Amino acid sequence: MQTTIGSPAVFEGVGLHSGQPVRMVIHPAPADHGVVFRRTDVRAANPRIPALWDRVTPSRLCTLVENAEGVSVSTIEHVMAALVGAGVHNALIEIDGPEVPILDGSAAPFVAGIQAKGLRQLDAPLRAIRILKPVEVREGEAVARLDPAPALEIDFVIDFADAAIGRQAKRLNMANGAFVRELADSRTFCRQSDVEAMRANGLALGGTYENAVVVDGDRVLSPGGLRHADEAVRHKMLDALGDLALAGAPILGRYSGTRAGHAMTNRLLRALFADPSAWTWEECSPAQAYGLPGAGVCRASVAAR
């Protein structure tokens, strides 16, 4: 069955790229509502932006959704991953600015906040998107692909020149709380050499060593070091889950990414939905629902990270 959050969850912080303070509230929503953002600071235009693949517009280093009147919300990937990973299918997200708060740079604070409020089951069946045949997009050495699989799996490979990251690969079946246990606390990352360039272009204005992992060659500059030896690839998998959430329903299939990013995952979803023979709607049986990323997650799972 479909779910929503049990009661409103409040998050306050700054935007990673804007550096501006922001308050965001995840509210319960009815069945078949999906995830919708509402800009509470917008008065002269439609403030509602559905979190869907066809509302994504080009944006550097994050995922941005925009409605037909040009109202947008950016850096939505971490909260979207948290909603999927916590098992929330419907939510109204009110936000008083143009960018989701970065918090600690991971999805863990969002997951903890959602789980503190609990879930409410709705009287409506849950439908998923079953992948029927391979779909792939490429750009140079970067590849993103969807293949048939019984449940959602994510397989990711990254390769950076900095020895602190290097080549990392990880594959994970996302069933039964794997996202919360394995990926949710992994933070966004960047190279020190990129920081000044980003800030010169008006990006990463809210970034700190506390809300991002910053590396320089073989050194990790952020206090406390890494949360996982392969934190970088885990975070890329977190991002991929958040971007796949913009399909609008759970995906039953395997996502493979090699050097892929937000834009490429969105291109993959566009390629998928452009080919009706590549996917189908499927009502989830209880067994299938139990195999989704958010099934079986509890507050103890968050605490056990």
Residues in a beta bridge with 57: 64
Catalytic residue among 17, 78, 235, 262: 262
**What are the φ and ψ backbone dihedral angles of 126, each rounded to 5 degrees?**
-100, 130
**Tokens coding 289:** 């629902």
Burial label for 201, CB within 10 Å (0-12, 13-18, 19+), is: exposed
Q: Please confirm, yes or no, whether 262 is among the known catalytic residues.
A: yes
SS3 (DSSP) at 122:
coil
Give the residue from 218, 185, 221, 188 showing the smallest Cα distance to 203: 188
Give the amino acid at 119: L
- For residues 154 and 257, give the distance between their C-alpha atoms in angstroms, rounded to a whole number: 8
Residue 178: is it exposed, middle or buried by C-beta count within 10 angstroms (0-12/13-18/19+)? buried
Backbone angles phi and psi of 210, in degrees to 5: -90, -25
Which residues carry out catalysis? 262
